[in-house]
C-alpha cells in the first residue's frame, strides 16, 4: 500500500524579454507492506523529498527564444529493494532488501533554442543529467555465506544533444 502526500509551490516573474520560473514540491511517501503468508514480516517505510525546478527563458524576438533550466526527479525504491525478509532458500547464499534505502535523485540541466514561424518549427537542445545515489545491488561474504542486498551507492552521468525540425508547406 503506497500513499503520497504532496504540496506544490511555483512562482513566475517576467521582466521585459526575460521570464524566470521557480518552483518545487514537497512529497511524503507512506509505504506499508503486509504479507499474508507465514514467515514474512510486515514492514513500513516513509520518504520525504523536496523536488526543485528552475527555468529562465529569454525571448529573442516573436519567433525565437533561448531557455535554460534545472530540474530534479525522484525515483522511489520498489518493494523488492526494501523488503527486509531474508531469503535462505539457497545454501550458502542469502538475499534481502534494505528498508533504509532513500529515493534516487536525478538532477538535470538543459539549454535549448527554439525558432517558430507559420510553416517552420525548430528546437535544438543540450542536457546534462547526473544521479549520485542510484540504487544498486551488491554482495559481500560473511562467514562463508554470500549475502546480496541493495544500497544507494551508484553514480550515473549522461550528456546529450537533440534536434527537432518540422516544416509544413500547406
Q: How far is CA 66 from CA 37, 132, 153, in A?
A: 57, 29, 36
Termini Cα distance of the chain: 52
Q: How far is CA 17 from CA 10, 60, 66, 126, 130, in A?
A: 20, 7, 11, 22, 31
Phi-psi region of 70 (alpha: psi -120 to 50; beta: other; left: phi over 0): beta
Three cell numbers, residue 132: 549520485
Grid look-up 506544490 returns 8
State the chain's maximal CA–CA distance in angstroms. Answer: 74
pLDDT digits (tens, 9 = 90+) for 114-140: 999 999 999 999 999 999 999 999 999
pTM of the predicted model as reported, rounded to 2 decimal places: 0.87
Grid look-up 551508484 returns 154
Round to whole Å and give the CA distance between 71 and 57.
14
Phi/psi of residue 7, each to 5°?
-130, 135
E strand spans, 16-98: 18-33, 43-61, 64-75, 87-90, 93-95
- Over residues 86-102, the mean pLDDT reads 94
Contact of 116 with 168, CB cutoff 8 Å: no
Looking at the chain, list the stretches that DSSP marks H as alpha helix, in order from N- to C-terminal side: 79-82
Residue 37 has pLDDT above 90, yes or no: no
- Over residues 45-68, the mean pLDDT reads 97
Amino acid at each position: 500500500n503506497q500513499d503520497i502526500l504532496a504540496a506544490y509551490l511555483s512562482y513566475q516573474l517576467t521582466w521585459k524579454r526575460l521570464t524566470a520560473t521557480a518552483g518545487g514540491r514537497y512529497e511524503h511517501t507512506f509505504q506499508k507492506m503486509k504479507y499474508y503468508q507465514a514467515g514474512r514480516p510486515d514492514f513500513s517505510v516513509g520518504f520525504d523529498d523536496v523536488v526543485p525546478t528552475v527555468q529562465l527563458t529569454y525571448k529573442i524576438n516573436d519567433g525565437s527564444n533561448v531557455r535554460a533550466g534545472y530540474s530534479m526527479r525522484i525515483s522511489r525504491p520498489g518493494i523488492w529493494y526494501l523488503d527486509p525478509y531474508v531469503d535462505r532458500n539457497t545454501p550458502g547464499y542469502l538475499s534481502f532488501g534494505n528498508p533504509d534505502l532513500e529515493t534516487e535523485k536525478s538532477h538535470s540541466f538543459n539549454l535549448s533554442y527554439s525558432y517558430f514561424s507559420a510553416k517552420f518549427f525548430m528546437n535544438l537542445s543540450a542536457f546534462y543529467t547526473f544521479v549520485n545515489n542510484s540504487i544498486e545491488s551488491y554482495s559481500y561474504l560473511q562467514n562463508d555465506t554470500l549475502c546480496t542486498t541493495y544500497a544507494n551507492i551508484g553514480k550515473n552521468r549522461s550528456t546529450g544533444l537533440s534536434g527537432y525540425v518540422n516544416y509544413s508547406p500547406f
